Every structure is written in structure tokens, then in C-alpha cells.
Amino acid sequence: MIPTKSYYFIKRGKDMERLKEIWSRPLTQWVAKTVYYLAILFALLWLYGFHDTNTSTFIYNEF
């Protein structure tokens, strides 16, 4: 039996309903937001955390 387009549409619709059901849970949203904000925090620390005091130019170094 060859599946038709309507079969895929119904299956995809059920998958979307399942994802919406999972996403509507408060714990799922809390975990997703926590992971998202931690990823942003780690990215910022990675970008700006590798600067030593010797590598930056200080304009008033000779005063």
C-alpha cells in the first residue's frame, strides 16, 4: 500500500498536536527557557571572558 498525501497530513497534524501538548506544560517551558538563557550566558562568557588585563590597551598607561 502506498501512503497518500492525506496520510502524511494527518500524521503531521497528530505530531503537531502532540508537540503542542508537550509545549503547553509549564515544566517543559521552564526547562526550554532555562537552557536557552544558559546558552546565551555561556556564549557571552565565551565571547568576553578570554580577555586578559595585559592584552587590552590602556590609554593612561604612562601617567
Residues 37, 31 contacting (CB under 8 angstroms): no
Which residues, 6 or more positions from 29, have their beta carbon under 8 angstroms from its beta carbon? 23
Task: Pull the grid cell for residue 10.
Answer: 494527518
pLDDT the model gives residue 57: 61
- Say whether 46 sits in a helix, a strand or coil: helix
Overall average pLDDT of the 10-33 stretch: 89
pLDDT tens-place string over residues 35-47: 999 999 999 998 8
